[in-house]
Amino acid sequence: MTDIRRDIVTGALAESADALNALRNNAATLDAIMAAGALLAETLSGRGRVYSCGNGGSMSDAMHFAEELSGRYRQNRRALAAQAISDVGHLSCVANDFGYEQVFARYVEAHGQAGDVLVAISTSGTSPNVLRAAEVARARGMHVVAFTGRRDTPLGALADIELCTPAGRYADRVQELHIKVIHILLELVEQALFPELSTPPAHST
């Protein structure tokens, strides 16, 4: 019979709780989240655009982030200009013709404008294709918001705002914090741009 252990379940939940508590108590990271929310809201209020990219699970996070802006998060409001770099035609074409390191950079070069924002997600902070995209974004006068899971990474060095969420030995805990921060950013943007639609947050007693 397969050995399914309860301690794996409780251990995973404990690790997640510890990682989230560490984030809650990191004042510098909380300030960075607020700064990123303000930057995104300012960009989108001025009809700028937000692009997002990442690999694997980070690609899924990039897509989720963009669709919650162009679609909706919690409030029914106007669509916001956000696009994940995830088109398979573009990705396969560029990977075939220029190499996988260029798949995000070529998209940014084609579509990004000064004042737009690139949300670049890499748990390691070293993904070559994400780094190339950030470099092109900076060269085009775009802002870069980086999601990482380690301090002092090449991606963090390229970012205007780094959202670094260290969490354990593996990428999965980092990704759990990334999606939490993404949801917070979405809430901050909706609260800032559509205050008449927003419900005040509940206060603990």
The whole model's pTM is what? 0.92
pLDDT of residue 165: 94
Domain 15-193 listed as CATH 3.40.50.10490 = yes
Tokens of 46: 């001025």
pLDDT, tens digit only, all 205 positions of the chain: 578 888 999 999 999 999 999 999 999 999 999 999 999 999 999 989 999 999 999 999 999 999 999 999 998 999 999 999 999 999 999 999 999 999 999 999 999 999 999 999 999 999 999 999 999 999 999 999 999 999 999 999 999 999 999 887 888 899 999 999 999 999 999 999 999 886 665 554 4
CA torsion angle 187 191 192 196 (round to 10): 160
pLDDT of residue 4: 85
Q: Residue 52: phi, psi to the nearest 5?
A: -140, 150
Tokens 């917070």 sit at which residue?
Answer: 184
Question: Where along the chain do its domains lie?
Answer: 15-193
